[in-house]
Amino acid sequence: MEGSPTTVDRQDAARSLASPPQGSPQLARHYRHACDARLVEHVQKHVALPGMLQVFRQAFPDCLVDPIWFSDRSLIAALRKRAGDPVFEAVRDGYNAVVDLVVGHGRALGWCATSRRKAELFMSPSGLVVVARQGVLRSMYMPGFVHAAGAPRRQHGREHRRHARRIDVDALLNHARDAGIGSRDDCYFDAVFRPALAAICRAPTIPTPGRATETGELARVSALSSCRTPEAWHIACAICDWGVA
């Protein structure tokens, strides 16, 4: 593909990206929410939303293997079930598989940081961020994501609300297909990853009222903050062996 990174490019990028910088967190093998109620809360707030579900389905088809993830109504109904119910277990397994993949990507690329409050933050080329503290999963979300109705998903102050953008992956993918230009990956970069990275670069590094996490710490990770072009992002995806379905 024209403009694709060469083997030498990939090797050079791997040497610079694959080794986490000094001070990056020593990671637990798995991060999980403290209880099922917290998992349900976060799926409802950050995943089971128009637009965000599109991103999940396109970015993590190998994690979301149960068909329940591809029916909005069934997914919402499954969140009302109790642990032990097969449909709830399918939702939990898919969600946790995505968490593990995002953390794994952050480790492989060095896209991870530890905040002053000892929160561990990881980012994936998918644009998702995982936040953990003391070995417990606190959140997984998409920086800069705006609910389809137009209201920002996370009320983190006026500045965040002013700069947050709506993710409309399908519209961009369909435009590229109809016009015969670009690729699904390039459209995903424009629609999802680049706005997420921009939101991280604007986010605070010091805890402030109304802001749940210190996402801005990730902006200090040079390997991530320099990933501003499709070419650099493609190299990161290749290192993780990840792509848009």
Asked whether residue 69 carries a pLDDT value surpassing 70, the answer given is yes
d(CA 120, CA 111): 11
Number of domains into which the chain is organized = 1
pLDDT score recorded for residue 24: 39
Asked whether residue 58 carries a pLDDT value surpassing 90, the answer given is no
CA atoms in the 13 A half-sphere facing the CB of 42 = 23
Whether 2 is covered by a domain: the verdict is: no
- The number of helices, as runs of H, and strands, as runs of E, in the chain is 11, 6
pLDDT score recorded for residue 84: 86
Whether 91 is covered by a domain: the verdict is: yes
Q: Residue range 9-13: average pLDDT?
A: 45
Whether 245 is covered by a domain: the verdict is: no
For 155-201, the pLDDT digits (tens) are: 444 433 333 444 555 555 555 555 554 567 888 888 889 999 998 98
Whether 47 is covered by a domain: the verdict is: yes
Whether 171 is covered by a domain: the verdict is: yes
Contacts of residue 69, defined as CB under 8 A and 6 or more positions apart, other chains included, come to 56, 57, 75, 90, 91, 94
Whether 159 is covered by a domain: the verdict is: yes
pLDDT score recorded for residue 205: 64
pLDDT score recorded for residue 112: 95
Give residue 128's domain range.
Answer: 7-240
Whether 193 is covered by a domain: the verdict is: yes
pLDDT score recorded for residue 148: 38
Contacts of residue 30, defined as CB under 8 A and 6 or more positions apart, other chains included, come to 96, 99, 100
Q: Amino acid identity of 154?
A: R
125 close to 238: Cβ distance less than 8 angstroms: no
- Cα angle at 25 between 220 and 96, to 5 degrees? 105
Asked whether residue 224 carries a pLDDT value surpassing 90, the answer given is yes
Residue listed under structure tokens 């991870």? 112
State residue 130 phi and psi, 5-degree precision: -110, 135
Asked whether residue 41 carries a pLDDT value surpassing 80, the answer given is yes
pLDDT score recorded for residue 118: 85
**In terms of Cα–Cα distance, which of 153, 180, 173 is closest to 245?**
173
Whether 123 is covered by a domain: the verdict is: yes
